[in-house]
Amino acid sequence: MLGRELRLLWRACSLRLIALCLAFFLCTHFFTELRRKSWPHAELVVKGQAREPGLSVEEHSRRTEEVPSKRQVIYVRRNNRGGSSGRRGGDSSLHKRDALKPVRWHIDLQPWAGPSHSLSEEATRFLHYITKSQIVCSQLVTNGLTKESVENGKPWTVCLDDRFSLAHQIRNQQCRMYSLGLGDDDSLFEVNMASGGCEVHRFDPSIGSAHIHEGERLWHHRLSVDWRDPNPAIAAHRLHSNTKKLSTILNEFGHWKIDILKADMESAEWKILENLVLEGIVEQIGQLVVEIHLHWPGFEVSGNDSTVVRYWYSLLKELERKDFRLFYTYKDLSKPQLFLKKEAFNASSCYILSWVNTRW
């Protein structure tokens, strides 16, 4: 009786033992399989890394040993992807970097020209600054690509020295010019640049239709460039209120760069320039040809006279900080010789200045 019970007990125990062993074996097998499947993956990634030229043998083996967990594998792969897109350095990464530009709300004001903050100190510094070229251009071209000089008309001047991109862009027929004006100007410069191979966009709020295509490469757009976009509520009520910021126009036209920006904006040039500096648009411009007006502060420029002149000067210094260099300066003696409504400082109310972006 006892012997039988013992035998039964023994059999139950051994059965349990066998089941336990089986379970243990299955578990071990399962985990080994799992591990084997995840390993080749990690090794592949590390091999990819090893192709980097700067990586020493020790570094490589250290990294191979360091890849036991999945989390690290993912980290290595991400790292790798970032590196390869950096090497490509294409337009997309440029645009991405561009989108991360910090927003600026005001330009950096230069120190006062002198301790008394007087108008004469500010005016002397400013007038000296705008009448002195900062760089020598040996191929100045005025009013278009034809060499014949134009007697009447303003001397809009660009620099075709080979060290700047404009000359190459014109040769490759990839030159683009924007001309901002208010309609009272002749378009000789624009017509000549278009016939010389530039794609010219003229923004003029006074024309009859929204867009006019003249000749092969000259467009007129019924748009006025401003330093802000219009309030949508107001814009809806005004007829032809086609006023836009340059950045908005560039976006809408799908243009990334402008080889020449010409601006003849009757005192709106200060706020427009400020907007281009603050939004970082000025870096997309190769050469700037601007008529500046000094007989009054300009639209929405406020403060006493010395504050205004200091602001003008600071704005132009911002261009210099972006590696723009003044290569041409012209004092218009046909205009009233007024400086902030005063006949003073031997100044004209009107100057034409040309800068080249030396980063291009």
Ligand X SMILES: *[C@@H]1O[C@H](CO)[C@@H](O)[C@H](O)[C@H]1NC(C)=O
Binding site for ligand X (CB under 6 A): 117-119, 304, 306-307, 331, 346
Q: How far is the CB of 152 from ligand X (least distance, A)?
A: 20
Q: How far is the CB of 127 from ligand X (least distance, A)?
A: 10
Q: How far is the CB of 171 from ligand X (least distance, A)?
A: 36
Residues 267/293, Cβ–Cβ less than 8 Å: yes
Q: How far is the CB of 310 from ligand X (least distance, A)?
A: 8
Q: How far is the CB of 307 from ligand X (least distance, A)?
A: 5
Please name every residue paired with 226 in a beta bridge, in sequence order, or none if there are none. 245
304 to 76, 111, 119, 122, 309: CA distances (angstroms): 60, 16, 9, 12, 9
Residues 122/309, Cβ–Cβ less than 8 Å: yes
Rounded CA-CA distance 230/186 in Å is: 27
Our CB check for ligand X shows the closer of 285 and 294 to be 294
Q: How far is the CB of 345 from ligand X (least distance, A)?
A: 9
Q: How far is the CB of 326 from ligand X (least distance, A)?
A: 16
Our CB check for ligand X shows the closer of 242 and 306 to be 306
Please name every residue paired with 288 in a beta bridge, in sequence order, or none if there are none. 261, 355
Residues 219/178, Cβ–Cβ less than 8 Å: no
Our CB check for ligand X shows the closer of 117 and 163 to be 117
Our CB check for ligand X shows the closer of 286 and 297 to be 297
DSSP per-residue string spanning 89-139:
--HHHHHHHHHTPPP-SSPPPPPPSSTT--HHHHHHHHHHHHTS-SS--S-
Q: How far is the CB of 314 from ligand X (least distance, A)?
A: 13
Our CB check for ligand X shows the closer of 270 and 360 to be 270
DSSP per-residue string spanning 27-88:
HHHHHHHHHHHHHHHHHHHHHHHHTSTT--HHHHHHHHHT--SHHHHHHHHHHHHHHHHHHH
Our CB check for ligand X shows the closer of 214 and 332 to be 332
Our CB check for ligand X shows the closer of 324 and 351 to be 351
Q: How far is the CB of 343 from ligand X (least distance, A)?
A: 12
Our CB check for ligand X shows the closer of 249 and 350 to be 350
DSSP three-state, residue 150: coil
Our CB check for ligand X shows the closer of 119 and 263 to be 119
Listed in sequence order, the residues at least 6 apart from 170 whose beta carbon sits closer than 8 Å to its beta carbon are 145, 160, 196, 197, 198
